[in-house]
Amino acid sequence: MYTIGAMSKATGVKVPTIRYYEEIGLLDEPGRNAGNQRRFDQAGMDALGFIKHARDLGFSLDDIRALMGLDGQLGDDCAEADQIARSQLENVRERIAKLEQLARELERISHLCDGGNGGCCKVLTALADHSQCAGDHG
């Protein structure tokens, strides 16, 4: 049996986050000892590890809930898990493309600067006037 502190230490998930996962039903409510302290079993530890890994990969809590509801058998559950994972991959690729676009624009803006050698700061001017941007990134 694990205390909430031991679960936190083992997984790197903060105690308030573990409590939140309980509150929203992502983690089953653990048993309690005579002192009314939470005591998680191995299944709770495994579930928290699954949640942590899925969150590290950027899955939403709703997607994690759906994935946790699958039994892992081939067939419909496997197809649904695959669809959720592919959707997350597409979301990640979209974010990467957006970040690459932002990096290009920031690089362009940073090259406007002449190092502060008089006149007005071109970086601040570019940030103040969105029409000076090379593309839409808002």
Q: Is residue 115 very low, low, confident or very high in pLDDT (cuts 50, 70, 90)?
A: low
User: How far is it, in rounded angstroms, from Cα 94 to Cα 112?
Assistant: 28
Contact 11, 41 (CB under 8 A): no
CB atoms closer than 10 angstroms to residue 54: 20
CATH value at residue 46? 1.10.1660.10
Mean pLDDT of 25-40: 88
Mean pLDDT of 68-83: 83
Q: Is 123 a domain residue?
A: no
Q: Is 10 a domain residue?
A: yes
For residue 60, report the phi and psi dihedrals to the nearest 5 degrees. Answer: -75, 160
As a dihedral over the C-alpha atoms of residue 59, residue 63, residue 68, residue 69, rounded to 10 degrees, the angle is -170
For residue 3, the enclosing domain spans 1-58
Mean pLDDT of 102-118: 78
In this structure, is the dihedral angle defined by the CA atoms of residues 29, 57, 89 and 102, taken in order, positive or negative?
A: positive
Range with the lowest mean pLDDT among 18-22, 38-42, 111-115?
111-115
Q: Is 88 a domain residue?
A: no
